């Protein structure tokens, strides 16, 4: 259950309100604008939770179809953004729960030069005692592959909370609304998730 103050603190975005009203009237241009406005963010969150491009595309499509079908039921008690993400995350977590993936590759099988370098770079970043240096995080495909694999080793609910926070940049109150959990649960899950993620990465980089 979400606290009353949290629910009331979120006001509907005026642009969204106009678009939603037009969508309810069946304005296809408004529907298209709403999709274009949110599709990349929703796709990214789904992609990071399920870690598969095709699944993420399907689930994003599914999310928007559900949003449009249910838009008449949207009452504006939370923001549209929160409501849309709740649909997306629920669909994705349910999908992950019943999905059994095959053919995932281990890091050991990918010990080419690039991967070795990326592992070394990541290890240095994680073990360096100095303050975090953002320059270390230059776009490195192999390094992000390692990180993606580490994320997939987290429990689904832990992965979801860390992605909503660190990739989508939601505050705790909004994450609580999206996941329909208490604020304290968000704090404990995020704390557990980051701690586990670090342990997993350290183990992978051994």
- Report the nearest approach of other proteins to the CB of residue 114 (Å): 16
110 binds other proteins (CB under 8 A): no
- Report the nearest approach of other proteins to the CB of residue 10 (Å): 16
9 binds other proteins (CB under 8 A): no
Q: How far apart are CA 100 and CA 93, in angstroms?
A: 13
Binders in 23-42 for other proteins, by CB under 8 A: 32, 35-36, 39-40, 42
Stretch that binds other proteins, among 7-15, 16-24, 113-121, 193-201 (CB under 8 A): 193-201
Each residue of 155-190: b (16+ CB within 10 Å) or e? ebbbbbbbbbbeebebebbbbbbbbebeeebbeebb
Q: Site for other proteins (CB under 8 A): which residue of 4, 5, 14, 102? A: 102
Q: Quick one: tokens of 19?
A: 């678009």
Q: Quick one: tokens of 153?
A: 């080793």
Q: How far apart are CA 115 and CA 79, in angstroms?
A: 42
60 binds other proteins (CB under 8 A): yes
Contacts of 121 (CB under 8 A, 6+ apart): 136, 140, 143
DSSP category for residue 137: G
CB nearer other proteins, residue 68 or residue 107: 68
Contacts of 101 (CB under 8 A, 6+ apart): 52
Q: Are 197 and 151 in contact (CB under 8 A)?
A: yes
- Report the nearest approach of other proteins to the CB of residue 77 (Å): 21
Residues that bind other proteins (CB under 8 A): 32, 35-36, 39-40, 42-44, 47-48, 52-55, 57-62, 64-66, 68-69, 91, 94-95, 97-103, 122, 125-126, 129, 131-132, 134, 137, 139, 144, 147-148, 151, 162-163, 165-167, 169, 171-172, 187-188, 190-191, 194-195, 197-198, 201
């Amino acid at each position: 259950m979400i606290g009353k103050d949290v629910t009331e603190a979120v006001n509907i975005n005026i642009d969204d309100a106009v678009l939603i009203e037009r969508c309810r009237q069946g304005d296809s241009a408004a529907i298209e604008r709403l999709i274009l406005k949110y599709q990349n963010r929703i796709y990214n969150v789904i992609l990071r939770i399920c870690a598969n491009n095709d699944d993420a595309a399907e689930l994003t499509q599914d999310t928007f179809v559900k949003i449009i079908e249910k838009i008449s039921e949207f009452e504006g008690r939370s923001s549209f953004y929160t409501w849309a993400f709740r649909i997306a995350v629920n669909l994705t977590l349910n999908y992950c729960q019943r999905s059994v993936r095959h053919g995932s590759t281990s890091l050991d099988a990918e010990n080419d030069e690039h991967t070795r370098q990326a592992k070394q770079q990541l290890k240095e970043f994680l073990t360096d005692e100095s303050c975090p240096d953002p320059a270390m995080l230059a776009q490195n495909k192999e390094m992000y592959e390692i990180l993606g694999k580490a994320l997939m080793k987290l429990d689904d609910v832990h992965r979801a909370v860390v992605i909503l926070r660190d990739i989508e940049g939601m505050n705790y109150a909004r994450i609580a609304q999206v996941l329909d959990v208490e604020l304290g649960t968000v704090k404990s899950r995020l704390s557990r998730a980051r701690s586990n993620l670090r342990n997993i990465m350290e183990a992978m980089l051994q």
